[in-house]
Structure 1
């Protein structure tokens, strides 16, 4: 019996402790530092006043207490029944207009409103005053989101704030989750990447016709030199003329894009942003063409257990996934050198037929040539050096094609010219 009584007492004590802890947490969440100072001052004044019979101090203590009680009245109410935070466009291009939408509704019977509404947007806080909402009323407002730079901008959570004018109490009610706005790097539509194709029976059919492959196209009359193994005897018997099978050539293209993240490769931030946009443009076009593409960025250059020349591969399952990943890519002070990155990528990824090396003007030609030699024989290498507002140029050095671009449009023009020559 004694054990049962002790057990119940322990259970009641634990429950009471949990309630007290929850209440204490709630109090800590609504009382500001000024509020705590006033509460401590009120308690100290009342204790000292009653202890030594100081009437003025007693009045001061009760005055502080009334002030705290009056401030608590401001916390009553919720201010709305529902508040929703919506991003009409969760992905935009750098520089494009972006907005978030706040929707508040009051389906209840009581009139709500007159409270402050706060929405953190990146490093700032957007403040609005929620107007009085009668029964069935709604509040719908949009506010802009800055998109001057590539990145991920966290928006939210939307919260209502009730606080007294003095600042003793502050009560926050969170109404929504944090939503991310992805600000993609700018890209330009470029021509189809016709270089770097390898004929492969397991590849995708093209419009080029051939006499031997696996993607059947049509029948045609036999001409001298055709392989007799491809004669279609049943059709030949019906027409009285030898007919041979004609196929669509299947080809594959494994493309690799290497984005240099070494901070020493770029003279300023503008060069790196142009490099990110150039690499993103090539990757987006390759994904659109349904080519097998690998997007590689340089990893740390040794130390802390990281292997020298390490790489990191970004997702390329879709254009949006790639651009989402590029939103958070930044230069690194201790990134691996470009030749080491190319060597590590060539070892990890097989079957590459075309490789783009995207970097800045501070990266000399010698490292680019060294990086190109790290790829297997037969891999076509193209280096893209980014110099914002610089003069575009194209040159070939020991089998390496080097594009120097000042604008994204230069890259599009150079690739179109290369395609027409090919």
Structure 2
């Protein structure tokens, strides 16, 4: 038996009751908006006039904790109910809450005049090194200051230092250490003083310093004297381009008006009776390009990526030390390779990402933007396949020497070739010099 429900009067075919109700409410909503719009415009000047008062009351309202607001609301409610209903117990509760709030005000009131100095002994350390800081708090007022607490954000954590009662001109010093177990850029500060009552109803904070950055650099390996032959060419890399002025002699040709007469080969000219000039093969200064993959899918775990960053830093620092050009590319852009400190600072910030750009995309960018690169080194994780490495190598110019260093902690040192691409696999940073020596095999 089929049940037939009557269609609501005025409803079109295929229209549900919910749709019909929404259709009825829509004109009401639009009409309400038209009615409230003039009211909002009329109250606009009132809101703007109250804005200074709101800003002035900001420091007061910000000092009240959520527990404090709850106690304030409870006190007002207890006073109203106790007096309206003549309920003695509620009046007692209201008095207790009021006394607690007034006592909390007494705890946080008072002018605070501290001179706070945040001093990091070193702004740049290496992973595992000890990073020490000093916090000095001095009373700059003419009266004694009550005890307080100094809070110091360190990265994602928070350090608290109790400051005792200080006489005028007295100071209190705290020494602290910052964990440097992982490569990162740690934000230290700002230092803020905190005064609060024992119940936590009010909490007054004053910021005294600006935040400072602590760079935790990756570990690097000194490659000096480790047969970095892929970077060594005293006169530059000889190319097939012909130049009229260079150091690599190529051939002689007939003199053309405008040629530099210093390059005339006089012996041949005297023998042939025709002016002949030297022609050279153009040479280029060694330029290393390091392509560090930052795609999360290319690494099995975080230790692989940390090893890759250390390898990248070691190659870049050796090139800078030998006064050779270096460019470091990652999936998100280019790092600064003009100075060792700036390169290590940028490497401290590098992290893996889930962007779709792959090693092939980075190689394509390198092939178009680094025209003077003589050596390109891929630094990748264990999950990069030989197909991806070969495809990335194919995006680079033919006359560029390409190598790949695959980082896999725990793996044994090995060398293999993919077509003309030499792939080195290392399991720890200490194997990098030996791996580079294998390039000459």
Match of 1:404 among 407, 412, 425: 425
Cα distance in 2, alignment partners of residues 160 and 211 from structure 1: 69
Match of 2:401 among 380, 389, 411: 380
Residues 233-382 of structure 1 aligned to structure 2 (within 5 Å): 252-299=285-332, 312-382=333-403
Q: Which deviates more from structure 2 when the two are superposed, residues 397-406 or residues 159-168?
A: 397-406
Cα distance in 2, alignment partners of residues 211 and 65 from structure 1: 92
Shift of 1:76: 2.2
1:33 corresponds to which residue? 66
| SS state at 1:74 partner | helix
Structure 1 contact 298–335 (Cα < 8 Å) conserved: no
1:144 corresponds to which residue? 177
Q: Deviations along 1:273-320, whole A, 9 cap, x unmatched?
A: 111110111112212222221111124xxxxxxxxxxxx111222222
Shift of 1:147: 1.2
Cα distance in 2, alignment partners of residues 269 and 261 from structure 1: 11
Is there any run of 5+ residues in structure 2 with no aligned partner, and where? 1-44, 240-246, 250-262, 268-281
Sort the Cα spacing of 1:78 and 1:179 in 2 relative to 1 into closer, same or farther, 3 A: farther
Shift of 1:166: 0.6
Cα distance in 2, alignment partners of residues 335 and 286 from structure 1: 30
1:106 corresponds to which residue? 139
Is there any run of 5+ residues in structure 1 with no aligned partner, and where? 1-11, 202-209, 213-226, 232-248, 300-311
Structure 1 contact 153–182 (Cα < 8 Å) conserved: yes
Q: Which deviates more from structure 2 when the two are superposed, residues 142-151 or residues 57-66?
A: 57-66
Higher Rg of the two aligned structures: 2
Sort the Cα spacing of 1:158 and 1:349 in 2 relative to 1 into closer, same or farther, 3 A: same
2:10 corresponds to which residue? none
Structure 1 contact 403–411 (Cα < 8 Å) conserved: no
Runs of 4 or more consecutive aligned structure 1 residues displaced over 6 Å after TM superposition? 12-16, 227-231
Q: Deviations along 1:50-86, whole A, 9 cap, x unmatched?
A: 3233344333323321211111000023555211212
Cα distance in 1, alignment partners of residues 229 and 152 from structure 2: 48
Structure 1 contact 34–168 (Cα < 8 Å) conserved: yes
Q: How many residues align?
A: 360
Cα root mean square deviation, aligned? 2.9
Structure 1 contact 94–184 (Cα < 8 Å) conserved: yes
Work out whether 1:390 is the aligned partner of 2:411.
Answer: yes
| SS state at 1:333 partner | coil
Shift of 1:357: 0.3
